[in-house]
Amino acid sequence: MTNPLLDDWTTRFDLAPFDRIEDADFAPAFDIALEEHRREIKAIAENPEAATFANTIEAMEAAGEALDKVLSVFFTMAGADSNPERQALQRDFSPRLAAHSSEIFGNKALYDRVRQLLEARDSLDLTDEQQRILMLTHRGFVRAGAALTGAEETRMKEIKARLAVLGTQFTQNLLAEEAGWSMALPEDAAAELPAFLRDAAWAAGEEKGADGPVITLSRSLIVPFLQYSPRRELREEAWRAWAARGANGGETDNRDIAAEVLALREERAKLLGYDSFAAFKLETEMAKTPERVRDLLMAVWAPAKAQADADAEVLTAMMQEDGINGALEPWDWRYYAERRRKAEHDLDDAALKPYLQLDRMIEAAFDCANRLFGLEFRPLDVPLYHPDCRAWEVLQDGTHKAVFIGDYFARGSKRSGAWCSAMRGQAKFPREQAPVVINVCNFAKPKAGQPALLSYDDARTLFHEFGHALHQILSDVTYESISGTSVARDFVELPSQLYEHWLEVPEVLDRFATHAETGEPMPRDMLEKVLQAANFDQGFQTVEYVASALVDLDFHDGAAPADPMAAQQATLDRIGMPRAIGMRHAAPHFAHVFAGDGYSSGYYSYMWSEVMDADAFEAFEEAGDAFDPATAERLLQNILSTGGSREAEELYTAFRGRMPGVEALLRGRGLAA
């Protein structure tokens, strides 16, 4: 009997045959594919012929195809539809993959071949893209510790293996805590909520096997509950559970894991000759140094905190009018901010939601991509890993460009948050390869037969993740290792955050924000209120984000703290964190930072990218048209199609003619003086 993960996929567009794949297939396929990649790397390293770009760099690019197939399916399913079997496999695979990576980057013969090519690069007649690949490959070896020897080399391998174990454990602990908590809602308390939230709470109760409505720790459920429930004691219970994720004691507590991760990262950086992990990590980003990151964050912190402090006074007065004395608390902020928004902008989120249907917002995202870049989206009927998933073929000028998969609804088996990943990246070597891109979100699932309704924040998330998808779909480079989103971490959020701006283009909402029951377009006065309120509560939103980014930077810039919770509090005290605002991500549930290295020392990157996205959208505004063809073409040619083929600063300057300052960001958030 063959293993569907290792077979040639004869499905449409060579998609994974999800209808044939079982959990029992993963371990044997992984073992075989890992050993095959090991043999391929050994053959490259021990090739008796002199090193050439083709027999070394391109050979490495082409190696590992079977392993990529197995892992793309496994990690997609482990993140979006986990179960005990997949969690156990993840605990097994992660340290073995870390060891495999260490084995490759610690292969002295392979490193020597790469180093020889780098030293001879001026005589190799390489294209610009090949020069870039060679530089990045050599840099990757050096930063992985390829130049280390003896005890230092051994220790580096041990650190990487241990970090892989800890990252997996952190993620699984967080998933367990989020899946394990729910709060039963008395029916009279549920009756006080808007219909969309009441329905979502009942649907969550059904999924949990409860007798009635429940609130879970899914962001799409708990945030609107904190906005709308008039019951302060229930808001407090829900907020405390949300804030305590990963810090409840017992087997799923993440505090000791965070401390060990930080200590190991510092040791890793010191082995490579860096003063701190932040200095090591930021060297390859646009920011380059911790000092530049801190300067940006503090430039935004000051006006954001001033706005938040002013807002807190207004909300406190509202609370006291309700007869509640004492300080405004974190479980009060969203409730009173929502009431204030309704009063000042006459905008009721519950009245707005019927105009933000999930299906219509997907259509809006697709339509903008069509007008900007000529993309078409045709529904596909193919087997996928969960019944909630949907797929589309993406075409450009009638030619197949990609497959796009959307997995939009929250469920207990899915980790929290929203993300985009490529199950297959775009490439032209060793053969033409069209990408398979997936957006995963956690929107509240409606009752059967009812349309899914989004908050405005949900709709923005949908556009954000689709911006990442476009970066993958429109990629046009030769080598997969630099295609799509394979760019500097503080550049990767530019396309996603830029795409959010099209949700605020009046003609887009005018056309696609139609009522779920009547089909009528959003009334003009409501549309104007939505756009006027776009910056509402930006003090709160900016403070909760920047506080998390500063804590992340402080964790990694200097000696690793033995007690991350104490270090976190010290940072918050130093910057004057408002007491009524919680961090967006506290250490025990800061998956961006502790589930892997991706955003470690890099959570600031959303803000760094926002400096560019605010400035980039102004290019369209200066052209007088949000769909200006010439500006869209410049964006396509210089950013969306280029992947990591050139330095990020060079790409942005080619698009805009210069690098931006922080002013456009402050204007965009309504925080400019």
> If DSSP states are collapsed to H, E and C, what string results for 227-245?
HHCCCHHHHHHHHHHHHCC
Assign residue 389 a region: left if phi > 0, alpha if psi is -120 to 50, beta otherwise?
beta
- Alpha-carbon Rg for the chain, nearest whole angstrom, is 25
Torsion of Cα atoms, 282 then 287 then 288 then 291, to 10°: -90
Burial class (CB in 10 A: 0-12, 13-18, 19+), 551: buried
Q: What's the mean pLDDT in 130-152?
A: 97
**172, 87 contact by CB (below 8 A):** yes
pLDDT above 80: residue 9:
yes
Angle ∠(10,12,15) on CA atoms, nearest 5 = 75
Q: What's the mean pLDDT in 136-147?
A: 97
Q: What's the mean pLDDT in 501-518?
A: 96
**333, 243 contact by CB (below 8 A):** no
User: Alpha-carbon distance 91 to 13, whole Å?
Assistant: 31
Q: What's the mean pLDDT in 304-322?
A: 97
Element (H or E) spanning 400, and its range? strand 399-409
- The Cα-based distances of 590 to 171, 246, 302, 593 in angstroms read 10, 9, 24, 6
pLDDT above 90: residue 534:
no
Within 10 angstroms of residue 20's Cβ, the number of other Cβ atoms is 15
Which pair of tokens denotes residue 180? 């394990």
Predicted confidence band at 155 (pLDDT cuts at 50, 70, 90)? very high
Burial class (CB in 10 A: 0-12, 13-18, 19+), 479: buried
**214, 208 contact by CB (below 8 A):** yes
pLDDT above 80: residue 1:
no
Give the range with max mean pLDDT: 220-224, 346-350, 527-531: 220-224
Catalytic-labelled residue, pool 40, 178, 266, 465: 465
465 is catalytic: yes
pLDDT tens digit sequence for 261-273: 999 999 999 999 9
- The Cα-based distances of 239 to 212, 338, 362, 410 in angstroms read 20, 16, 31, 19
Q: What's the mean pLDDT in 446-450?
A: 89
| Of 366, 363, 360, 368, residue with least CA distance to 628 | 368
Predicted confidence band at 100 (pLDDT cuts at 50, 70, 90)? very high
pLDDT at position 210 is 94
| Beta strands 399-409 and 419-424, pairing class | unpaired
Q: Where are the alpha helices (DSSP H) in 446-488?
A: 456-473
| Of 129, 643, 628, 134, residue with least CA distance to 435 | 643
User: Alpha-carbon distance 608 to 599, whole Å?
Assistant: 13
Predicted confidence band at 523 (pLDDT cuts at 50, 70, 90)? very high
φ, ψ at 251 (rounded to 5°): -70, -25
Cβ-proximal residues to 604 (8 Å cutoff; 6+ apart), any chain: 287, 293, 296, 297, 490, 549, 552, 553
pLDDT at position 398 is 96
Predicted TM-score of the model (pTM): 0.93
Share of the chain above pLDDT 90, in %: 94
**590, 584 contact by CB (below 8 A):** no
Q: What's the mean pLDDT in 238-252?
A: 97
| DSSP SS3 for 391 | strand
Predicted confidence band at 111 (pLDDT cuts at 50, 70, 90)? very high
Q: What's the mean pLDDT in 297-307?
A: 96
Predicted confidence band at 673 (pLDDT cuts at 50, 70, 90)? low
Which of 120-124, 345-349, 483-487, 540-544 is least confident? 345-349
Strand partners, 440: 407, 419
pLDDT at position 447 is 86
Angle ∠(71,77,81) on CA atoms, nearest 5 = 160
Which pair of tokens denotes residue 200? 């979502």
User: Alpha-carbon distance 220 to 457, whole Å?
Assistant: 10
| Beta strands 436-443 and 399-409, pairing class | parallel
Secondary-structure percent of the chain, ordered helix, strand, coil, rounded to 5: 60, 5, 30
| DSSP SS3 for 417 | coil
Kindly list the structural domains of the chain, giving each domain's residue range(s) and its CATH number in brackets, ordered by start: 12-175 (1.10.1370.40), 181-243 (no CATH), 354-488 (3.40.390.10)
pLDDT above 80: residue 565:
yes
| Strand order, beta sheet including 375-380 | 375-380, 390-396, 399-409, 436-443, 419-424
More confident residue, 662 or 552: 552
pLDDT above 90: residue 531:
no
Predicted confidence band at 532 (pLDDT cuts at 50, 70, 90)? confident
pLDDT at position 261 is 98
Within 10 angstroms of residue 663's Cβ, the number of other Cβ atoms is 12
Mean pLDDT, the chain, rounded, equals 96
pLDDT at position 444 is 92
Which pair of tokens denotes residue 646? 């050139």
Q: How many residues does the chain have?
A: 673
